């Protein structure tokens, strides 16, 4: 009998646990450890943040589902990793600390045969002074509670505008190395749409602030894409959208301090500037959780497992940007020191950024970290689960399932406004996610035809359909596995 422990119940962790339980006989144990009692479909937080979808529609409790499906569940946080066991426990284990009301604060050793680290990122609001959701007129849509609070504040501001008060709205990234520009991009378009729907658009000044060098970078170095019969850069597409909606932008901005209604940032020229606002939604930096690891003698071996995020089968050799390659990216998400540990999704340490690193004249790094959310999280989780399943069934290590972001495509449906007849969505597909400049030298490292964009009402309907499809899938309803990651 094998015991597979999954740390985290977000997209990666839940996908991995679902496939493990479906494909392994009940003699094998699947256990999920997560501090969250609910599963949440994070892409729909955008709609919670503009009041178009109640947060209860994007989540459901995990434990009742796991009980029905034969998956163990502990509502707890992982604290330390012990991949060699110790003098008292020969088997590898992690220590966890319970956060549920009944056992809160209690610690426990959880042994495993295979470990999947799907803990995702720490939302590192503390990395930017004053960037705490709900304070200094700044908000977040990173969780459903954050998004609900953002809507409460935005709704109050809309009411003020209806009474004749003009407002400044600031949306984008709240740190020089933040990623997830896509979520902020969706939110600014949805906010603008809601202001028009409430007939107060003329009362608001809306500004996009980002660490991107150009619009449409999205942490992926931008892209050249097919747009109808045209070929255009993502920069041109986003410029077109922002100009059409009268959204201003500030680029190359490393936000480093937030005060009440004022964001301080450094630009690539090394200048320190400020921008004022009445409402802001700023994405924080993502970081590792600061886990520690120890060998069987209780000696610190954290550097064998982590470099911020978890070390996997990537090439982490430092080299100039011009020498980076798609071959540097991992394929199996297996830790090289401990072969029974894997880290799909945001939990793995990327070998390098995808966008070109840039520094201000003061030496401050200002550029997006690589995105690994959404579709890549689900795909990498499933391939990790499949490799563990094959290894258990054959009795020997099997790594036949591979998927590098350098040869993996992704589809993103960005909401540009909610509404069954007046809504809009921006459909973008990218292949590959990490540009391959050797294979596609004339098209910015990506294959045209598989990299395209489209804007319209159909995009909104598609995103809405995906919301219900993925909630259905996450609940493991009949034939859920037929819905692709």
What is residue 263's predicted lDDT score, i.e. its pLDDT? 98
H or E element in which residue 6 lies? strand 3-7
Q: Provide the CATH topology of domain 3-122+287-394.
A: FAD/NAD(P)-binding domain (3.50.50)
- Categorize the per-residue pLDDT at 83 as very low, low, confident or very high, splitting at 50, 70 and 90: very high
The mean-pLDDT minimum among 143-157, 204-218, 296-310, 369-383 falls in 369-383
Kindly tell me if the per-residue pLDDT of 228 is higher than 90.
no
For a pLDDT cut of 70, what percent of the chain falls above it? 100
36 vs 115: CA distance, rounded Å: 19
Segment 4-27 mean pLDDT? 98
Question: Do 292 and 402 touch, CB atoms closer than 8 A?
Answer: no
β-bridge pairing 114-117 and 3-7: parallel
What is residue 101's predicted lDDT score, i.e. its pLDDT? 85
285 vs 265: CA distance, rounded Å: 14
- At 50-65, the pLDDT tens digits run 999 999 999 999 999 9
Question: Do 405 and 424 touch, CB atoms closer than 8 A?
Answer: no
What is residue 291's predicted lDDT score, i.e. its pLDDT? 97
Name the residue ranges covered by the structural domains of the chain: 3-122+287-394
Query: Residues near 415 by Cβ (< 8 Å), separated by ≥ 6?
Result: 46, 47, 186, 189, 190, 423, 424, 425, 459, 460, 463
What is residue 374's predicted lDDT score, i.e. its pLDDT? 83
Kindly tell me if the per-residue pLDDT of 230 is higher than 90.
no
What is residue 470's predicted lDDT score, i.e. its pLDDT? 97
- Categorize the per-residue pLDDT at 1 as very low, low, confident or very high, splitting at 50, 70 and 90: very high
Segment 400-424 mean pLDDT? 93
- CA-based nearest residue to 141, from 179, 207, 187, 185: 187
Segment 355-381 mean pLDDT? 94
Segment 372-393 mean pLDDT? 95
| Phi, then psi, of 282 in degrees rounded to 5 | -125, 125
The mean-pLDDT minimum among 111-120, 240-249, 414-423 falls in 414-423
- At 452-469, the pLDDT tens digits run 989 999 999 999 999 999
What is residue 260's predicted lDDT score, i.e. its pLDDT? 96
Q: Using CA of residue 12, residue 185, residue 404, residue 410, what is the dihedral sign?
A: positive
Segment 429-451 mean pLDDT? 94
Helices 181-197 + 144-162 axis angle, to 10: 30
What is residue 108's predicted lDDT score, i.e. its pLDDT? 97
- Categorize the per-residue pLDDT at 229 as very low, low, confident or very high, splitting at 50, 70 and 90: confident
Kindly tell me if the per-residue pLDDT of 482 is higher than 90.
yes
Kindly tell me if the per-residue pLDDT of 352 is higher than 90.
yes
């Amino acid at each position: 009998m094998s015991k597979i422990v999954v740390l985290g119940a977000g997209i990666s962790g839940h996908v991995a646990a679902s496939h493990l339980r479906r494909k392994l006989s009940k003699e094998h144990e699947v256990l999920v450890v997560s501090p969250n009692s609910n599963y949440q479909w994070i892409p729909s937080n955008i709609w919670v943040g503009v009041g178009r979808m109640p947060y209860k529609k994007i989540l459901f409790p995990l434990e009742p589902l796991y009980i029905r499906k034969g998956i163990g569940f502990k509502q707890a946080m992982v604290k330390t990793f012990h991949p060699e066991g110790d003098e008292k426990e020969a088997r590898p284990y992690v220590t966890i600390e319970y956060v549920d009301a009944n056992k809160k604060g209690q610690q426990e050793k959880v042994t495993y045969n295979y470990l999947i680290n799907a803990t995702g990122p720490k939302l590192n609001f503390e990395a930017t002074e004053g960037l705490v959701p709900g304070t200094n007129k700044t908000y977040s849509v990173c969780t459903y509670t954050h998004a609900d609070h953002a809507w409460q504040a935005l709704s109050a501001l809309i009411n003020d505008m209806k009474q004749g008060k003009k407002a400044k709205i600031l949306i984008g990234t709240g740190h020089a190395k933040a990623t997830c520009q896509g979520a902020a991009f969706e939110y600014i378009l949805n906010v603008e749409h809601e202001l028009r729907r409430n007939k107060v658009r003329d009362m608001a000044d809306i500004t996009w602030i980002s660490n991107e060098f150009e619009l449409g970078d999205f942490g992926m170095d931008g892209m050249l894409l097919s747009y109808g019969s045209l070929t255009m850069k993502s920069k041109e597409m986003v410029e077109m959208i922002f100009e059409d909606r009268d959204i201003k932008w500030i680029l190359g901005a490393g936000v480093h301090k937030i005060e009440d209604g004022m964001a301080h940032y450094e630009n690539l020229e090394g200048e320190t500037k400020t921008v004022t606002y009445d409402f802001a939604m700023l994405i924080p930096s993502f970081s590792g959780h600061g886990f520690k690891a120890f060998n069987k003698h209780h000696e610190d071996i954290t550097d064998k497992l982590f470099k911020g995020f978890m070390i996997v089968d990537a090439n982490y050799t430092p080299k100039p940007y011009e020498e980076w390659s798609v071959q540097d990216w991992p394929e199996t998400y297996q830790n090289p020191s401990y072969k029974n540990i894997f880290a799909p999704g945001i939990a793995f340490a990327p070998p390098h950024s995808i966008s070109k690193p840039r520094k201000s004249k003061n030496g401050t790094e200002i550029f997006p970290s690589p995105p690994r959310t959404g579709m890549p999280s689900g795909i990498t989780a499933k391939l990790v689960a499949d490799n563990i399943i094959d290894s258990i069934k054959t009795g020997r290590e099997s790594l036949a399932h591979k998927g590098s972001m350098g040869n993996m495509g992704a589809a993103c449906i960005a909401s540009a406004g909610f509404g069954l007849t007046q809504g809009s969505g921006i459909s973008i597909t990218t292949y590959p996610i990490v540009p391959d400049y050797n294979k596609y030298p004339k098209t910015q490292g990506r294959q045209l035809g598989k990299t395209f964009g489209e804007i319209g009402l159909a995009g909104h309907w598609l995103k809405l359909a995906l919301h219900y499809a993925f909630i259905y899938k996450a609940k493991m309803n009949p034939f859920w596995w037929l819905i692709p990651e």
